Amino acid sequence: MYVENYTTIKEFYLIGFNFNPQLELFLFIIFLMIYLSTITGNTIIIAAIWQSSKLRSPMFLFLGNFAFMEIGYTSVTMPKMLTDLVSGNKKISVSGCVTQLYFFFVLGGIENYLLAVMAYDRYLAICNPLRYSTIMNNRFCHQLALMSWFSSFISSLIPIYLLGKLSFCGKSQVDNFFCDASPIFNLSCTDTSLLKSYFFSLVWIVIFSCLFFIILSYIQIILAILKIRSHSGRKKVFSTCGSHFSVVILYYGSVIAMYVRPHHEYTFVFDKCLSVFYAIVTPFLNPMIYSLRNKSIREAIRSYKCSAI
């Protein structure tokens, strides 16, 4: 693949939602409330885990990392989108666009790895409880969390570097509210066929390897639960991974629909709706899922609120 060392276009125009000013102002208010709720919900979860001595298990260490990741994940795209809605200035530099895309995919990769690690934690807790504390010791848990972050940051460097070296000319409009990969590839004057194949192959490998590991873990969990004779016992055991299971369905349902389908089925309107769901709605729902379905988290949050008052 031949790559130019210059760009003829210095900035892109994010089309976003492209409605009339009144409707965009309404969307600004809605999305601002969602963004503030997402940040607040995840911050409360982190603070509750930090201050509660009862939440020192590996599951809550990974949940704290997950909540921190979600704050970064939404903050990569939503502040720029909110600014565009209220100001009407939807321009972004090419370097700023590539930087936004890099961190968006880095944090998306971290989400995949953390969901897989959390599935492994639940598998050990339910299927191998006698060895759980020995295997999931403090050092190993921190290593798993650190590797989730480190692996995603490193693996995303090469494709994003190559994308940043592309040349762009002609149309400069990105038909989305943030810099996603597919619209950027379509604006390049350089042949992107090899880079596109490499980029999406990497995305598919991360998604499906983590999803395969999660499915494998849940098969073992379900088989272990079926061996429990009492209905109340089954319900109690499954409740420990119910919130994680719900988040997995929400996340992978939208991400697979977005990135793992034939290229001829891509439509920008459909992609934009999916982008809103997995980049905005899912991070907004996740804190509520974890707080509503986890008794320990609810109690820790109530305790945190009382101490804060």
Which CATH number is 105's domain given?
1.20.1070.10
pLDDT tens for each residue of 245-275: 888 998 898 888 777 665 555 566 677 778 8
Highest-confidence range of 74-78, 228-232, 288-292, by mean pLDDT? 74-78
**Mean pLDDT on 227-234:** 77
What span, in angstroms and rounded, lies between the C-alpha atoms of 127 and 285?
A: 29
- Asked if residue 101 has pLDDT above 50, the reply is yes
Highest-confidence range of 47-61, 223-237, 251-265, by mean pLDDT? 47-61
pLDDT for residue 3: 46
Q: Look at residue 15 and tell me if it is in a domain.
A: yes
pLDDT for residue 174: 84
Write down the mean pLDDT value for the chain.
Answer: 84
Which residue, among 69, 65, 108, 135, has the nearest Cα to 210 in the 3D structure?
Answer: 108
Q: Look at residue 5 and tell me if it is in a domain.
A: no
Q: Look at residue 112 and tell me if it is in a domain.
A: yes
- Asked if residue 286 has pLDDT above 50, the reply is yes
Residue 127 lies in domain? 11-308
- Would you say 115 and 208 are in contact if contact means Cβ atoms under 8 Å apart? no
Q: Look at residue 183 and tell me if it is in a domain.
A: yes
Q: Look at residue 217 and tell me if it is in a domain.
A: yes
pLDDT for residue 268: 62
- Asked if residue 129 has pLDDT above 80, the reply is yes
- Asked if residue 292 has pLDDT above 50, the reply is yes
Q: Look at residue 3 and tell me if it is in a domain.
A: no
- Asked if residue 130 has pLDDT above 70, the reply is yes
pLDDT for residue 175: 82
Q: Look at residue 6 and tell me if it is in a domain.
A: no
The pTM of the full predicted model, rounded to 2 decimals, is 0.88
Highest-confidence range of 4-13, 57-66, 139-148, 228-237, by mean pLDDT? 139-148
- Angle of helix 58-87 versus helix 94-127 axis, rounded to 10: 150
pLDDT for residue 308: 55
**Mean pLDDT on 82-96:** 87
What's the total number of domains in the chain?
1
Q: Look at residue 4 and tell me if it is in a domain.
A: no
